[in-house]
Chains A and B, each alone.
Chain A
Amino acid sequence: MSLSTTLSTLRLVSRIYTKSPSTIFSLIVITLYTVGALATVLGLVPPLPPAKGGWEYIYQPPSARDFPWYILGTDFTGRPLLLAIVRGISTTLAVAFLSAVITVTIGVALGLISGYLGGIVDEIFSIIINVALTIPTYLLALILVATLPAELKTNILVLAGILSITAWASLARAVRAQTLSLRKREFIDVAKTLGFSAWKIMFDEILRFMAPFIAMSLTLAMCNAVYGYTGLAFLGLMPISSENWGIQIYMAIRAGGALYSDRAILALWSPIITIVLLQYALINIAKTMEAIFNPALRVSYIKGE
């Protein structure tokens, strides 16, 4: 791709994102979260101070101390809440991204191979996909996380693996169905007579056709992983840690007295808003994938039709 086409593509993409206020907003949210995660990884964010028990330290009101980290007050360990939330971004995003990559890789590979090759391969893969479809990811994940030794519960790779354990199934089914119908299209027949290998047909012709759908699935898979990661923590299945947003909410309700007073109100709402904003942005970005990857839509999107 030459520089000019790259630039024009970038221009098109930026036009798509500046089209509606909600996509601009979502893009800003994702950028902020990414900056937060990178800052943590690069050591630009200070480490959490040691926990301080005792009623006078926890759920303190906002203060300007160590600006800006105490702006939301303190959490259930007496640590600065904002700092805890920001430090949580990198782990959450890492788990979500890894899990989405695993989900999409398995789902696309199984669905594509099953649908394109057909025959006995398809029969076996179909059974595998069907079985995985009947096992809800978070149900099996719940059992596995619950029985997992504590030291593995903080391992990002293990968590990502567990959160995608059967999450790929519905994607695999959809990819398989699309492949089956695409396989009968005339442009695939032509690709065969042009002498293209099965590999090229699967990954260049068919996969390219499904690109908008797959990009969307990747984003939504991140969304699901965030849901699982924080949701399982909320059930009290993860080690108690300030950096997990699900646990912050759990503690605010169970221990912080958010039920009866306003003392823990920031500790309840801050992580909730953090999670919901991330989910909202991811869902909105997923919607734009169709417009980015499908040239027909891309052009009409820009012309404003």
Chain B
Amino acid sequence: MYGSSMHWIAKKILFATITWFLAISISIIVIVLSPGDPAKMLLASFLQQGMPYEQAVRMVQAYLGFSPEEPWWSKWLRYFQGVVTGNLGTSISYRFSVTHVIANAIPWSAFFVSYSLSITLILGVLMGLTMTYYRERVLFVRSISSILTILNSVPNWILAAVFFVYLGVRWRLFPYSGPYSPDIQPEPSLQFILSVLHHYTLPVMVMVLASLPGWAFALSAMASAVIKEDYVIAAKARGLKSGRIITAYIAKNSILPIYANIALTFAWLLVGTVWIETQFNLPGLGSLLSVTTGARDYPVMIGVYVIIITVIVLGNLLTDITYGLIDPRARVGEA
């Protein structure tokens, strides 16, 4: 069994690698083939600045890693070579290597996304189970689900904008700009950590509120199906207490089928950072992407894109493997 699990994990890793390779390759090819090919755009902007053609081509090559004169497949190969060797080109606005710029941004986004993800998951499970368990209290469940539906129809960036304007700037209830208080040194001290948590209150609230409804609805849909299953009735007949029935029966059986959705929620939150980090002026991959997009800093844009895809592939792989290990139904084949 152990050996077979290792083999299975190895196979999953291989598939994830292929998916990653194809996802990056297809994206790069789509980007260089699109009417807005970055190499051409960059070349045009250099030429506009009055740079001689030869020099402009060399500059583009230096920044992006590929030249505007190459065919698409050669651009793709050159760029991919850079991805594998860790060289993603040079940032036009920061003048640093893209790898360096991105490396500085990753920890912030990692913290922000995993913090929001865990709160979303916990709250979503609690709300989904509550809605199912107290389904006889029609008024209570209806009001929760109406609130969630309304929340579901507010795009996360609108939520961010409204919270920023009102809870932040106008009413001064929470900090609304920067990852920590400017008068604190960024060092591993309690004071620093508290300041970071305080500054992330609004952004995390936005993230959680925007992704909570989907997760809670998915869970309550599963749970209301599970609660009608024979094994739940049988558990009741055996005299099990409702606490045990909720945790080991309803919760476990409703979370497992939608376990894979965790990876989707994760990807969704990661993309959400583009708006939310930007709105609250936080460092991270999202704000980096939106700032460099504004500045037409193509090397960083594509670099951030590649990193986000990589993180998503890793997230999928992790959910996939853990799911196979925790759900007995994944292990037994269909006859």
Q: Is there any pair of Cβ atoms, one from A and one from B, under 8 angstroms apart in the complex?
A: yes
Residues of A within 8 A of B (CB): 22, 127, 130-131, 133-136, 138-140, 142-144, 146-149, 152, 165, 170, 223, 227, 230-231, 234-237, 249, 253, 258-260, 268, 272, 275-276, 279-280, 282-284
Segment touching A, from B108-116, B266-274, B321-329: B266-274
The closest CB in chain A to the CB of B42 belongs to: A147
A276/B267 contact (C-beta < 8 A), A152-B35, A253-B161 known: no
Complex formed: what's the CA distance from A280 to B268 in Å?
Answer: 20
Count the A-B residue pairs with Cβ separation under 8 angstroms: how many?
124
Between-chain CB contacts (< 8 Å), 21 pairs: A22-B146, A134-B313, A135-B26, A136-B312, A138-B274, A139-B274, A139-B305, A146-B36, A146-B296, A146-B301, A149-B35, A152-B35, A234-B157, A235-B274, A253-B161, A253-B164, A258-B165, A272-B162, A276-B153, A279-B152, A283-B153
CB distance from B129 to the nearest CB of A (A): 21
Chain B 261-303, CB-CB to A under 8 Å as 1, else 0, gives 0001001101100110010000000000110011010100110
Chain A residues within 8 Å of B270, by CB:
136
Nearest chain A CB to B317's CB is how many angstroms away? Answer: 10
Contact B20 A134 (CB under 8 A): yes
> A234-B275, A253-B165 given as contacts; is B150 within 8 A of A135 (CB)?
no
Q: Which residue of B lies closest to A234 (CB)?
A: B157
List the A side residues contacting B290 at CB < 8 Å.
235
Over the window 205-240 of chain B, the binary record of Cβ atoms lying under 8 Å from chain A Cβ atoms (1 yes, 0 no) is 000000000000000000000000000000000000
Known A-B contacts A235-B278, A235-B293, A284-B149; the reply to A131 vs B31 at CB < 8 A is: no
Given contacts A231-B275, A253-B161, A275-B158, contact A135 B309 (CB under 8 A): yes
Is A231 a contact partner of B36 (Cβ separation < 8 A)? no
Query: When chains A and B are docked, how far (Å) is the Cα of A190 from the Cα of B95?
Result: 67
With A144-B31, A259-B169 as known contacts, state yes or no: A235 contacts B275, CB within 8 Å. Answer: yes
Q: Report B135 CB to chain A, min CB distance, Å.
A: 15
Cα(A237)–Cα(B36), bound, Å? 13
Interface residues of B in 139-177 (CB under 8 A from A): 146, 149-150, 152-155, 157-158, 161-162, 164-165, 169-170
CB distance from A185 to the nearest CB of B (A): 14
Interface contact B161-A249, CB-CB below 8 Å? yes
Nearest B residue (CB) for A231: B157
**Complex Cα–Cα for A282 and B27 (A):** 31
* A131, A133, A231, A276 pick with most chain B CB within 10 angstroms: A131
Assess whether B122 is interfacial by the CB under 8 Å rule. no
Which of B278, B293, B312 is in CB contact (< 8 Å) with A146? Answer: B293
Q: Are A139 and B271 in contact (CB under 8 A)?
A: yes
Given A231-B275, A253-B161, do A143 and B31 touch, yes or no (CB 8 Å)?
yes
Count chain A CB atoms within 10 A of each CB in B23, B37, B298 and give the residue with the most.
B23
B22 contacts partner chain A, Cβ-Cβ < 8 Å: yes
> Are B264 and A139 interface neighbours, CB within 8 A?
no
Q: From residue B36, how far is it (CB to closest CB) to chain A in Å?
A: 3
Query: Which residues from chain A contact B55 at a C-beta distance below 8 Å?
Result: none
Cβ contact of B27, chosen from A140, A259, A276, cutoff 8 A: A140
B-chain residues with CB within 8 Å of residue A139 when the two chains form the complex: 271, 274, 305, 308-309
17 A-B pairs besides A147-B31, A235-B278 with CB distance below 8 A are A22-B149, A130-B15, A136-B270, A136-B308, A139-B274, A142-B289, A143-B31, A147-B34, A147-B37, A148-B34, A231-B275, A235-B157, A235-B290, A236-B294, A249-B161, A276-B150, A283-B149
Q: Which residues of A contact B22 (CB under 8 A)?
A: 127, 131
Contact of A136 with B268 in the complex, beta carbons under 8 Å: yes
CA distance A138 to B18 in the complex (A): 22
Q: Which residues of B contact A230 (CB under 8 A)?
A: 155
Contacting residues, chain A, for B61 (C-beta < 8 A): none
Output the nearest chain B residue to A184 by Cβ-Cβ distance. Answer: B334
- Which 6 A-B pairs have CB atoms at the shortest separation, nearest pair first? A147-B36, A279-B153, A280-B153, A148-B36, A146-B293, A131-B22
Contact B293 A249 (CB under 8 A): no
B89 is an interface residue with CB less than 8 A from chain A: no
Nearest Cβ distance between residue A63 and chain B, in whole angstroms? 25
**What residues on A are CB-neighbors of B118 within 8 Å?**
none
Is there a chain A Cβ closer than 8 Å to B19's Cβ?
yes
Answer yes or no: B316 CB below 8 A from chain A CBs. Answer: yes
The smallest beta-carbon distance between B28 and chain A, in angstroms, is 10
Q: Is there contact, CB below 8 Å, between A143 and B305?
A: yes
Task: Evaluate contact between B293 and A237: CB separation under 8 angstroms.
Answer: yes
Q: How far is the CA of A139 from the CA of B304 in the complex (A)?
A: 10
State whether A283 touches B31 (Cβ < 8 A): no
Most chain B CB within a 10 A radius of its CB, from A170, A223, A235, A258: A235
In Å, the complex CA distance between A142 and B31 comes to 11
Decide: A136 and B153 in contact? CB cutoff 8 A.
no
Quick check: B41 and A147 within 8 Å, CB to CB?
A: yes
Q: Please determine whether A149 and B36 come into contact, CB atoms closer than 8 angstroms.
A: yes
Residue of B nearest to A236 (CB): B294
* Cβ contacts under 8 Å, B30 to chain A: 140, 144, 165
How long is the Cα–Cα vector from A260 to B289 in the complex, in angstroms?
28
Q: Which residues of B contact A148 (CB under 8 A)?
A: 34-36
Q: How far is the CA of A142 from the CA of B146 in the complex (A)?
A: 32
Alpha-carbon separation in the docked complex, A130 to B313 (Å):
10
Q: How far is the CA of A286 from the CA of B161 in the complex (A)?
A: 27
CB-defined contacts of A227 to chain B, threshold 8 Å: 155
In the complex, are the beta carbons of B23 and A134 less than 8 A apart?
A: yes
